Amino acid sequence: MIITEAQVERCEGGQAWVKIRPRSPCGNCDPKYGCKSVAITRLFGQGQESYPVQNQLGAKASDWVRVAVDDGVLLQSALWGYGLPLMLLLLSAALAVVIAPAAWSELASLLGAVLGFILAFGVLRWRNAKMHAFQPRVIEILSATSGSTMCAGRQ
């Protein structure tokens, strides 16, 4: 499991929106500025500040929690997110070239590639709506705050 600590910002239904606790720099990174990956991310904007997670333990706003994602989820997500669009793009472009007359092969491959990419986008949107197993979840409440608002959907 991949585990990190986060603070609950708000709750909506059975989900808690959490902000990840920043990590101190490791020995492999710049001691003053931290991780180079984070520095590169900051160049392109602030990015997302809070993330939705499953809240089956009933964490409340302002609670510190431990959030986990199962092993293999990142690899599976990367394969679906990058592999499927690339595969459908190439296959549909190649199929379009085979089907189209020789004079139209370049245009056919371009249109086939675009259609393959659009198809992959649709498949990923459909799959994303069905796959709740990939969503991170609260596995432990580290410090509960007494005066905070309880999240709806507590089980």
**pTM (two decimals):** 0.58
d(CA 151, CA 18): 12
| 41-81 residue pLDDT tens | 555 555 567 788 888 888 888 888 888 888 787 788 888 88
Residue 111 has pLDDT above 60, yes or no: yes
pLDDT, greater one: 148 or 121: 121
| Range in 66-70, 75-79, 102-106, 135-139 with the lowest mean pLDDT | 102-106
What phi, psi does 69 have (nearest 5°)? Answer: -130, 140
pLDDT, greater one: 52 or 28: 52
Residue 56 confidence (pLDDT): 86
- Residue 145 is classified by DSSP as -
- Judged on CB neighbours under 10 Å (0-12, 13-18, 19+), 144 is middle
Count CB atoms within 10 A of the CB of residue 135.
Answer: 14
| Range in 14-28, 55-69, 83-97 with the lowest mean pLDDT | 14-28
Q: Percentage of the chain surpassing pLDDT 90?
A: 8
Specify the amino acid at residue 46: Q
Residue 41 confidence (pLDDT): 52
Beta strands in the chain, from DSSP E residues, in sequence order: 2-12, 15-20, 51-54, 64-69, 137-143
Residue 115 confidence (pLDDT): 92
Residue 155 has pLDDT above 50, yes or no: no
